[in-house]
Amino acid sequence: MSHRISLVSQQLTELTALLKKASLWSNEPVSAEQLASTQPFCIDTLRFEQWLQHVFIIKMEQLIELGMPLPSSIALCPMAEEAFSDQTPFVSELVNLLADIDEATSGKRLQTKYLSTADVNSKQGVETWDES
């Protein structure tokens, strides 16, 4: 398993734990109709945290398990910045983790809110992602 895939796998585990910690994880299944949405992030049928749980995490874990290529153009962070409010528990950690996932998969970090010190340094060119 490449370093990139191992990193994304670890980040998915962290995302699951963080969604649970923030009480955004649901034990209730979503319907097939909700999952059949053709809108990005199933925005018309699911809340963003539901999409993360029932679509994103599951599909990414399946790709990793099957040895399939991961998406190379992904931008979760801008949606997270819109979907999660300042009132969302652990909002900073959620947004930063999703920005980390974006960066690990696409090499881009489109984060504008809840920046940590490491993120600010990264934006100044201190850190880059190597696909190897």
Given a contact cutoff of 8 angstroms between Cβ atoms, the answer to whether 65 and 99 are in contact is no
In the predicted structure, residue 100 carries a pLDDT above the cut 60: yes
Mean pLDDT across the stretch 57-78? 95
Report d(CA 128, CA 44) in Å as an integer. Answer: 35
| Mean pLDDT across the chain | 88
pTM recorded for the entire structure: 0.85
pLDDT of residue 118: 58
H-assigned helices in the chain: 3-21, 32-35, 48-51, 57-66, 77-83, 91-106, 117-123
Of 117, 107, 119, 120, residue with least CA distance to 75: 107
Mean pLDDT across the stretch 55-60? 98
pLDDT of residue 117: 57
Of 25, 23, 74, 33, residue with least CA distance to 50: 25
pLDDT of residue 85: 84
- 3-123 belongs to CATH 1.10.3720.10: no
Q: 19 vs 124, which has greater pLDDT?
A: 19
Residue length of the chain? 132
Least confident of 99-108, 112-121, 122-131: 122-131
pLDDT of residue 126: 36
Domain-wise residue ranges, the chain: 3-123
